[in-house]
């Protein structure tokens, strides 16, 4: 069961060259002239960005912000001991800066981790094109994402994700930290209270966030229960198609290798009929706890579908070892998130 992402043909656009360090040094609330890359690769200045609003925000306020946007707003996740400074401009740029205790909002020092989310319809194309400029270093990431930084300003890394009309800039005074956050998949969308944005973008989720997603649905959401040392990768295409994948430590979000345990929950008018159909002609069937029936195809025994009588959903379980996929289903270890 592969992770599904949305792939759209990118258009052309311009890419900001002035990094977050420069923005902060000027004061985020100040008027900022952005330098953009033209189609021919030369830089030009544009209309100054209007002043941004700057305030400290709680995690709950950031979740509310994420829910109010149709496209993701990115950050580096929760960090104990840090406060979150939120800045927004009328043009739609959103900045989240991580401030230690004692540092006030609006502090002009370019010393703190900052993640900027910018509306760019053709983010992948723009980011790749910026890699053609002198001194640029391009990094192709898992899941079709692309990151670029310039050797002249290595503290800022730009990254774009497949199917998401946003470009993300990650600034840290340490270039190694900025690149490490991007390369490891720790720059993720903020999950609202209703869970992951329905963009098809895989995100890292906590157990509490998975419970919030489950509570928002009109059918159960299945998983393999909590597992220490694993990242729960949540991919929410729609309320009718949701995946939870278990990634071992060190594996980045959106890793494309089909090697990790995964559970998909799909809405269906007749769950049992849908599971049987998914098994294909000549599917092998077996009973499971609580009166359900499971099906798998002899040609792909690593994917097992199951459902229960009179339910409007089916569940798919993937394990790279067929016997283990079937064993998980037979044992009743695939359960609803509660």
pLDDT of residue 199: 54
Strand partners, 286: 294
Tell me the per-residue pLDDT of 80-89, one tens digit each, with 9 for 90 and over: 899 999 999 9
pLDDT digits (tens, 9 = 90+) for 119-163: 998 898 999 999 999 999 999 887 678 999 999 999 999 999 877
Mean pLDDT of the chain: 82
Domain segments of the chain: what residues? 20-189, 203-336
pLDDT above 90 (res 109):
no
Q: How confident is the model at residue 100 (pLDDT cuts 50, 70, 90)?
A: very high
The region of weakest confidence among 10-19, 219-228, 244-253 is 10-19
pLDDT level of residue 171 (50, 70, 90 thresholds): very high
The pLDDT of residue 96 is above 80: yes
Residue 149 is predicted with a pLDDT of 95
Q: What pLDDT shows up at residue 231?
A: 87
pLDDT at 53: 75
Please give the structure tokens belonging to residue 306.
């199951």
Q: Integer distance in angstroms from the first to the last C-alpha of the chain?
A: 23
| Encoded tokens for 234 | 């949540």
CB under 8 Å to 295, separation ≥6 — which residues? 275, 276, 278, 279, 283, 284, 285, 304, 305, 306
pLDDT tens for each residue of 260-317: 999 999 999 999 999 999 998 889 999 999 999 999 999 999 999 999 999 999 999 9
**pLDDT tens profile 251-273:** 877 788 889 999 999 999 999 99
Confidence band for 195, pLDDT divided at 50, 70 and 90: low
In this structure, what token pair is assigned to residue 157?
Answer: 């890394």
Q: By the 8 A CB rule, do 238 and 170 touch?
A: no
* Cβ–Cβ under 8 Å, residues 266 and 314: yes
Kindly tell me if the per-residue pLDDT of 201 is higher than 80: no
User: pLDDT tens digits for 12-63?
Assistant: 333 343 455 544 443 443 323 333 333 333 333 333 344 567 899 998 899 8
């Amino acid at each position: 069961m592969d992770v599904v992402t949305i792939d759209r043909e990118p258009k052309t656009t311009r890419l900001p060259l002035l990094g977050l360090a420069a923005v902060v040094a000027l004061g985020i609330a100040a008027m900022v002239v952005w330098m953009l890359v033209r189609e021919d690769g030369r830089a030009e200045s544009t209309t100054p960005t209007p002043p941004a609003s700057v305030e400290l925000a709680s995690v709950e306020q950031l979740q509310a912000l994420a829910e109010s946007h149709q496209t993701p707003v990115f950050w580096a996740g929760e960090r104990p001991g840090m406060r979150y400074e939120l800045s927004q401009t009328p043009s739609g740029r959103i900045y989240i800066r991580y401030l230690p205790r004692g540092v006030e909002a609006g502090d002009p020092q370019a010393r703190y981790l900052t993640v900027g989310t910018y509306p760019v319809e053709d983010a992948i194309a723009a980011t790749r094109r910026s890699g053609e400029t002198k001194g640029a270093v391009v990094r192709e990431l898992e899941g079709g994402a692309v990151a670029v930084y310039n050797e002249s300003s290595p503290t800022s890394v730009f990254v774009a994700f497949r199917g998401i009309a946003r470009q993300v800039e990650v600034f840290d005074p340490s270039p190694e930290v900025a690149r490490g956050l991007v390369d490891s998949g720790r720059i993720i969308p903020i999950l609202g209270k209703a869970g992951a944005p329905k963009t098809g973008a895989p995100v890292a989720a906590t157990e509490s966030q998975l419970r919030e997603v489950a509570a928002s649905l009109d059918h159960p959401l299945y998983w393999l229960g909590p597992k220490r040392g694993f990242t729960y990768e949540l991919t929410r295409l729609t309320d009718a198609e949701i995946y939870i994948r278990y990634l071992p430590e060190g594996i980045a979000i959106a890793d494309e290798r089909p090697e990790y345990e995964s559970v998909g929950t799909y809405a269906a008018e007749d769950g049992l009929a849908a599971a049987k159909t998914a098994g294909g002609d000549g599917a092998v069937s077996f009973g499971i706890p609580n009166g359900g029936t499971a099906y798998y195809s002899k040609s792909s025994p690593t994917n097992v579908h199951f459902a229960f009588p009179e339910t409007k959903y089916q569940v798919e379980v993937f394990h790279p070892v067929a016997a283990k996929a079937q064993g998980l289903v037979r044992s009743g270890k695939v359960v609803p998130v509660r």
